[in-house]
Structure 1
Amino acid sequence: MSSGLVPPDEEFFPAMFKQTRRSAVHLEMRDGYMADEQFDRWLADGRPAQVARAEDDEAWMSLVADAVGRGVEVRRARIVSTGPVSAYVAWLHAVTAGLNVAAGEQVRWLSRRKASMLTLPGNDFWVFDETVVWNHFTGDGEWLGVEVTDDPAAVELCRTSFEAVWALATDHAEFRV
């Protein structure tokens, strides 16, 4: 099964998490994503090192916590440019402990310099058990939607790529921006 581009839909990821039984892994490879009010507030507040979670984060936290509670391993790896990181990556780092890690995700970071010898797909992705979800973005980081496939070659490519990144990456608690 392979879908064409599916436009952004607030129900898509909750449905994927609810049907996942073993593993959900996510690889992010961009230094910036779409505009975000929380990011803008963080910039206006002087870029604090840690950020309290926002009210609209609760749905995500509940979704992840429910999956983890059912025994699903949820892992996220981020490949980022360093020396210095982008403002957006610094913000992601500031919110990760209170949002992703607090919900039950395991998060690691990899400097893009250390990823040069890795074979990686061209897009960010999730792998939910045996299904790949490619995330598609515009050049300036606006989310276009997803493409879904259960093609075994795509699943294997993404799993192998994710595990290679994971093995080299630094745990969130140890990664410095």
Structure 2
Amino acid sequence: MAAESAFEGLFRSARRSAYHLEMRDAYGLDADYQEWASGNRFDPAERWPWWIELVSAAVGRGVAVHRARIVSEPVSPYVRYEYELTSGHNVKAGESVRWLPRRRASGLALPGNDFWLFDGGSVLFNHFAGDGTMTGEELVTDPGVVALCVSAFDAVWQRATPHEEYRPS
């Protein structure tokens, strides 16, 4: 059995909340994205059952799992891919997902990196190369940084449109 990643450990130990803020218009263009881009539509729940299990277990123990995405419009092909997979993947797992057009985020103070915020007490930053390849993670518990991320996520969440209502342009 593979060792549990730091992310999985944090997610499994969350008691109240696991919030994710995504701010990129493209991430690593992996084989799944390439397959989708070539026209092969697949069931994300069959492709990534581990995510369904991880999130649904957290939601089952009372953890609020929220994901907010800040996106440029018109959306990139990668964001369209994320949008099309969200209902069968993120929402099916139990996440609440919202979308915020980048033009509506201009007045917000945002950290420089995507992050996961766990129970309002620790932040796991995701670091990416220019091509969208993930290069690492950084766990931060500094109260000032955590407060910035709490504030940023709350501000984005309040302005963002629920997945069920959002229509990408």
TM category (shorter chain) comes to over 0.9
User: What is the CA–CA distance in structure 1 between the aligned matches of 2:126 and 2:62, rounded to whole Å?
Assistant: 25
Unaligned runs of 5+ in 2: none
User: Is 2:152 the partner of 1:176?
Assistant: no
Residues 31-50 of structure 1 aligned to structure 2 (within 5 Å): 31-45=25-39
Greater relative contact order (Cα 8 A, min sep 6): structure 1 or 2? 1
**Equivalent residue in structure 2 for 1:104, among 94, 98, 101:** 94
- 1-side partners of 2:157 and 2:12: how far apart? 24
1:157 aligned onto 2:148: yes
1:21 aligns with 2:15: yes
CA distance in 2, matches of 1:56, 1:93: 16
Distance 1:115 1:98 in 2: 27
Sort the Cα spacing of 1:72 and 1:127 in 2 relative to 1 into closer, same or farther, 3 A: same
Deviates more, 1:137-146 or 1:11-20: 11-20
**Root mean square deviation of aligned Cα:** 1.4
* Range 34-43 or range 136-145, more displaced: 34-43
What 5-or-longer segments of structure 1 have no aligned partner? 1-8
Counterpart among 110, 129, 152 of residue 120 in structure 1: 110
CA contact under 8 A between 2:113 and 2:127: conserved in structure 1?
Answer: yes
Superimposed CA distance per residue, residues 144-172 of structure 1 (whole angstroms, 9 cap, x where no aligned partner): 11000111111110010000000000000
User: Which of 69, 72, 89 matches 1:81?
Assistant: 72
Equivalent of residue 167 in structure 1, options 128, 134, 158: 158
Percent identity of the aligned residues? 53
What secondary structure does 1:167 align onto? helix
